[in-house]
Structures are given as structure tokens and as C-alpha cells.
Amino acid sequence: MAVARPIRMLGAASILLCLFLIFQLNKGPTPLVGQGRTYNGMKSDPLLEPTGEPEGQLWRVGDGDYSPNSADSARTNAALISLVRNEELDDLIPTIRDLERTWNGKFNYPWIFFNDVPFTEEFKRRTKAETKAKVYYEQIPKDHWSVPDWIDMDLFYESAELLKEKGIQYSDKMSYHLMCRWNSGMFYKHPILKDYRYYWRVEPKVQYFCDVDYDVFRYMEDRNTTYGFTINLFDAPQSIPKLWPETKKFIAANPSYVADNNMMEWLTDDQLRPEHTKEANGYSTCHFWSNFEIGDLDFFRSDKYEAYFQHLDRAGGFFYERWGDAPVHSIALGLFEDAAKVHWFRDIGYRHTPYFNCPNSPKCSGCTPGKFYDGEPFLAKEDCRPNYFKYVGTH
């Protein structure tokens, strides 16, 4: 049957319109000019406001002896720590350079590098050359970097295949699972960290954009801050379906561990990305992006954190699922710590591809204030800061 030409044209136009609408819907929210965003309920990005240093007394270079080898220095007991592979040396050097230029060249906190295998001489030589501060190279004890005996390896391979089919990156890479478990429950047990209180975690390829002219570790100590972050993200719910159910079991058995001023609303929000909360069985999947963290080791060494880690470890999700240290740290902080003790380091310009924390400050260069991501527009949806600011605040 012949169809009249105008009807054919109309049909074709409708199909094109439908395709356009589908594309627009899948594309996600469109960032506004100037990187300010109204999506996710955030009317304007706080990073667009002029950002200065935190309020209150700050320790600066002139306030004490920050020379690298001083026996009686103004430094508190803290270190820059980095788990890294020998093969990542070329990616690590520019990161060390950035952090030395913007901050540590002034304060000279020691660097501690961790590896599951011995560091090469080249690694040691080239990293040492980037800093005046002391540098330590530590191998991780075998029992901190191995599969516990209660893990069923057949089940691991089966689960890894299933997760891979669901598009969960690195799910079939055993080293990735071991790395997440180490960062969740082992790093703070390394003997070298025994006498340290604070750490700043550093990963290769990361960039720092802003001059920071105060002693960040003293800032943590003076204000009794437990944890500092730069970026707040959603996680892939398929990587952690049992994490929240296991957490609920743990808190049901240990209700006294839950802090009065906790961050439960941020952890369980089901408004911003309802499908995420549903797939993660009640957890919003929002987390501190842990490739940056400045933290108090005493929190991780506490009975409650250790008991929580042991519970999760026994449940097997570091292997049968792909639990990351970011959601594990975040849930623990969100439940067991007072929200007032967590700090957003808005003034530390930071990038781990593809996300940024870029403040509007004359101390920063090389990033665009308020720009959150670099790449496809769908990445904007991964921003969980609106929830964090809404439920916890911007402190």
C-alpha cells in the first residue's frame, strides 16, 4: 500500500524527534556556562565562590622549624603515604612534584611508599630526588596482601565473571581486590605507621593545583578533625550489593558504635539517584573519593573500625563482590564518627581523572574553578557533593 509523501515525511520527522529525545535523556544533565550547575538540586557550586584559607589559627612556615632533618621540628607526627607499583613511576613523579611545589616543599613531611613487591633502585633514586624530606620504602607483609583462607576461590572466579558481565571494571583482577582490601583494613596496620597519627594519601597521576600555605596536618590536629576529603561521588551499585546489608547486620549487633551526630541521611538518601540506592540495597553509594584522603590513623585503629572491617572481611565481599575502600571508609566515617569531625578541603585543588576539586582562588592555577569533570556529560551524574552539602554541610 502506497503511503502519501507528507505522511511519510511526518513519520520520518517523528522518528528523528524520538531519537533526539532519547539522546537528550541519556546524555544526563547539561552543565551550565561557567561550570555552575543546577542539577542534582545544587543551585550553585560553592567552588565558584571565592575560596580562601580555613578560618582560625593556622601554622605557617615562619611559625616553627620545618626544615627537613630537624630533630625538634614543628611538624606533627604525620606522613604522606602512597601505595604504588614500580611500573607507575613515570606517573608518580609529576604528582610528587605537584605536591612538593604546592605544599610539602614548605613543610617537609616524610614520604612513605608502599608496595607488595620490593621497590626497584630506579624507583628509589628518582623519587628521592624530588623531595628534601625523608623518604621510606616499605614492602607490605605477605599476610596483609593475600586471600584469607575462608574465601572460596571457585566462587571468586564465578563472581568475578558475573561482575565483569555487568561491566564492573577490574572485577576479575585479583590485585585490585587485594588493593581494596589493603586500603580498607590493612594500611593502618603496617608497622611503619605505628608511631604516626595522620596520613595524606597520594596516588600516581593525581594533580594538585593550589598553593597551600599552612600545615594541613596541624590543622587536623588543632581542630580534632578525623578525616578530610576533596571529592564526593556515587559508586557503581553492582560492585557493592551486599555491603549495606552487611553493615546493617553489624550495627544491629553493635548499636553503641553509631555516633549521635552521624551522617546516616547522606549514606541512605534515596532521592538524588533512587535506582542507585535501590540496587545497593539501601546505601546511596555516596562516598569520599579515597584516592585523596587526609586522615587520623587512630580512627582506623579504633575498636569499632577494626570490628567493622573484620565483619566485612568475613562476609567475603572484598572478593565475591568488588567492595572498594572508598565506600568502606565512607560508611564507617558516616556511621561511627561525628559529622563535625569531617572536613571538606575545598582549598586543595585536586584532580584524579576524570574529576576535579577546583576552587576559585588566586592561589590556584591549571584548573577551571567549579569544573567538576572532564569528559562525557554523563559524568556530571556521578557528583554526590549536592547530597553531602545538603545533609552534612560544606565545612
The torsion angles phi and psi of 138, rounded to 5 degrees, stand at -125, 135
Residue 80 C-beta: closest distance to Mg ion, Å: 16
Residue 119 C-beta: closest distance to ligand GTP, Å: 9
Contacts 24+ apart (CB under 8 A), 301-310: 301/188, 302/336, 304/254, 304/257, 304/332, 304/336, 305/332, 305/336, 306/185, 307/250, 307/254, 307/257, 308/247, 308/250, 308/257, 308/332, 308/336, 309/184, 309/185, 310/185
CA distances from 205 to 84, 102, 109, 181, 373 (A): 11, 16, 20, 21, 16
Helices 303-315, 174-185: inter-axial angle, 10-degree rounding: 160
Residue 84 interacting partner from Mg ion, ligand GTP, none (CB closer than 5 to 8 Å by kind): ligand GTP
Q: Which is the catalytic residue, given 100, 130, 246, 293?
A: 293
Sign of the C-alpha dihedral, residues 75, 144, 281, 168? positive
Q: Which stretch binds Mg ion (CB under 5 A): 138-146, 200-208, 295-303, 325-333?
A: 200-208
Q: Which three cell numbers stand for residue 179?
A: 588493593
Q: Which of 103, 97, 107 minimizes the C-alpha distance to 134?
A: 107
Total number of residues binding Mg ion (CB under 5 A)? 1
Q: Which stretch binds ligand GTP (CB under 6 A): 33-41, 77-85, 295-303, 339-347?
A: 77-85
Query: Where in 101-140 is the site for ligand GTP (CB under 6 A)?
Result: 115-116
The yes or no reply on residue 85 touching ligand GTP (CB under 6 A) is yes
CA–CA separation, 360 and 44 (whole Å)? 13
- 99, 179, 233, 272: residue in contact with ligand GTP (rule CB under 6 A): 179
Nearer to Mg ion, 203 or 265 (CB): 203
Residue 365 interacting partner from ligand GTP, Mg ion, none (CB closer than 5 to 8 Å by kind): none
Q: Which three cell numbers stand for residue 336?
A: 561511627
Nearer to Mg ion, 203 or 338 (CB): 203
The yes or no reply on residue 291 touching ligand GTP (CB under 6 A) is yes
Amino acid at site 346: R
The answer to whether 318 touches 180, Cβ cutoff 8 Å, is yes
Query: Could you tell me where the beta strands, DSSP code E, fall in the chain?
Result: 78-83, 111-115, 135-139, 198-201, 207-208, 227-229, 232-233, 287-288, 293-296, 342-344, 350-352, 355-357
The answer to whether 217 touches 76, Cβ cutoff 8 Å, is yes
Cα first-last separation, the chain? 69
Q: Which stretch binds ligand GTP (CB under 6 A): 58-66, 67-75, 82-90, 239-247?
A: 82-90
Q: Which three cell numbers stand for residue 310?
A: 573484620
- 78, 79, 80, 84: residue in contact with ligand GTP (rule CB under 6 A): 84
Q: Decide if 293 is catalytic.
A: yes
Q: Which stretch binds Mg ion (CB under 5 A): 168-176, 201-209, 224-232, 384-392?
A: 201-209
Residue 88 interacting partner from ligand GTP, Mg ion, none (CB closer than 5 to 8 Å by kind): ligand GTP
Residue 203 C-beta: closest distance to Mg ion, Å: 5
Q: Which stretch binds Mg ion (CB under 5 A): 81-89, 198-206, 230-238, 360-368?
A: 198-206
Residue 211 interacting partner from ligand GTP, Mg ion, none (CB closer than 5 to 8 Å by kind): none
Q: Which of 296, 300, 249, 243 minimizes the C-alpha distance to 267?
A: 243
The yes or no reply on residue 204 touching ligand GTP (CB under 6 A) is yes
Total number of residues binding ligand GTP (CB under 6 A)? 11
Nearer to ligand GTP, 139 or 268 (CB): 139
Residue 115 interacting partner from Mg ion, ligand GTP, none (CB closer than 5 to 8 Å by kind): ligand GTP
Residue reference for cell 579504633: 302
Residue 247 interacting partner from ligand GTP, Mg ion, none (CB closer than 5 to 8 Å by kind): none
Residue 291 C-beta: closest distance to Mg ion, Å: 5
The yes or no reply on residue 164 touching ligand GTP (CB under 6 A) is no
CA–CA separation, 4 and 6 (whole Å)? 6
Residue 306 C-beta: closest distance to ligand GTP, Å: 22
CA–CA separation, 201 and 224 (whole Å)? 19
Nearer to Mg ion, 353 or 365 (CB): 353
Catalytic center residues = 293
Binding site for Mg ion (CB under 5 A): 203
Binding site for ligand GTP (CB under 6 A): 83-85, 88, 115-116, 175, 179, 203-204, 291
